[in-house]
Amino acid sequence: MKPGPRNLITDVAGLRVGNAQDAELRSGVTVLTGDAPFTASVHVMGGAPGTRDTDLLAPDKLVSQVDALVLSGGSGFGVAACDGVMAGLAADGRGFAVGEARVPIVPGAILFDLLNGGKKDWRENPYPELGLRAYKAAASEFAIGSEGAGTGAMTARLWGGLGSASAVLENGMTVGALVAVNALGSATVGETAHFWAAPWELEREFGGLGLPSEFPAAAEPLPFKRPGEATTIAIVATDANLDKAGLQRLATVAHDGLARALVPSHTPLDGDLVFAASTGARPLQDPVADSFWLGHAAASVLARAIARAVFTARSRPDDRRACWRDIAKRG
């Protein structure tokens, strides 16, 4: 397993990502779309999710492909980012055909960033515009860290952010992850700068510190956020030809990566969710072996993407959290 050329989810050929954010709002939107509709499913393990149109991703539902997936800040207000993405897709003539009509299929998930110090006294919901801007910005190259849906994200100790990573397997298949990290838990071990995800790091992509030589004594973690204030929302994608049932299994296994990188995770106060997407470009050569490796890669790539989100996040003088670079400088 090695990183793809960009070490981004867009190493899965045919996929593009766009970010839009508002510095004063301290929030933003991230959109995954593609050159063509793609198959998708989802699995939710957090106790406080916020979603739109995720029911249609179940294997027994009619619509088999989507036009985009949305990750947004803004809590319940952020669900409206999907409206802006739908408007952009409709203007491009894309969507599920129903007679002469076309309806863009745009499931989404949100995180809570309403108490992060940003200006939230808007008169009109800003998220549809942010969604449209993110869709229009979609490209194979995109920024991570304090960008898009990760703009105002926080973890227990540090600023969270938007992360991405990829892996190319020996069988030629590519797996990528995209994640907005706004967790109740911590991505780093105790008071150190060492990432929980260190065992899965490739090519020093988040500092190369490894795990600490000594671990802090086990303690019962305290919830530093209130119910509904946390959530890590992610997408794993592959070029392997998986149907919705196979993708639902891939999303389920990918949650292992979230648990490897954030401690604690999947709490009643988090809305932890993973979408899984497939362009279908590569047929499975060995359905059992390939599915096994895809699941392992999805968990590993998501753990790496979470650490990269925190590693690349930036802070401002008036911020309510330090960023990783701040604690790394302190040693």
For residue 163, what is the domain's CATH number?
Answer: 3.60.70.12
> Using one digit for the tens of pLDDT, what is the confidence trace for 141-179?
999 999 999 999 999 889 999 999 999 999 999 999 999
Chain centroid, CA 89 distance in Å: 21
119-124 mean pLDDT: 93
Please state, as a whole number, how many other Cβ atoms lie within 10 Å of the Cβ of residue 215. 11
- The Cβ-side half-sphere exposure at 279, using a 13 Å CA radius, reads 22
- Checking if the pLDDT of 228 tops 70, the result is no
pLDDT band (50, 70, 90) for residue 224: low
Cα separation, 118 vs 63, whole angstroms: 38
Query: Percent of the chain having pLDDT more than 70?
Result: 96
Predicted local confidence at residue 168, as pLDDT: 98
For residue 222, the model assigns a pLDDT of 60
- Beta strand 108-110 with 51-52: parallel, antiparallel or unpaired? antiparallel
Q: Is the pLDDT of residue 221 over 70?
A: no
> What integer pLDDT is reported at residue 134 of this predicted model?
98
User: What does the pLDDT read at residue 316?
Assistant: 80
d(CA 19, CA 17): 7
**Does the structure show a pLDDT above 80 at 63?**
yes
> Does pLDDT of 216 surpass 60?
yes
Predicted confidence at residue 30, as pLDDT, reads 98
How confident is the model at residue 226, as a pLDDT? 57
Write out the residue range of the structural domain in which residue 325 sits: 2-212+220-329
Domain count, the chain: 1
- Listed in sequence order, the DSSP H helices in the chain are 81-91, 127-136, 244-261, 287-312, 324-330
Report whether 220 contacts 263 (CB < 8 A): no
Strand partners, 39: 65, 278
Residues 6+ apart with CB under 8 A from 121: none
- pLDDT (tens digit, 9 = 90+) per residue, 87-118? 999 999 999 999 999 999 999 999 999 989 88
pLDDT grade, residue 329 (50/70/90)?
confident
pLDDT in the model for residue 117: 87
Query: What average pLDDT does range 244-270 have in this prediction?
Result: 94
Give the residue with greater pLDDT, 15 vs 329: 15
Q: State the pLDDT at residue 86.
A: 98
* pLDDT confidence bin for 305, thresholds 50/70/90: very high
Which pLDDT score, from 0 to 100, does residue 218 have?
62
Q: Is-contact 303 259, C-beta < 8 A?
A: no
Give the mean model confidence (pLDDT) for residues 53-81. 96
Instruction: Write the CA distances from 77 to 26, 104, 106, integer angstroms.
Output: 14, 20, 16
Residue 73: its pLDDT value, please? 97
Read off the pLDDT of each residue in 67-95 and give the average, rounded to a whole number: 97
Over range 184-206, report the average pLDDT. Answer: 94
For residue 139 the two structure tokens come to: 């490209």
Amino acid at position 182, single letter? N
Name which residue leads in pLDDT, 268 or 237: 237
For a pLDDT cut of 90, what percent of the chain falls above it? 81
pLDDT for res 95:
95
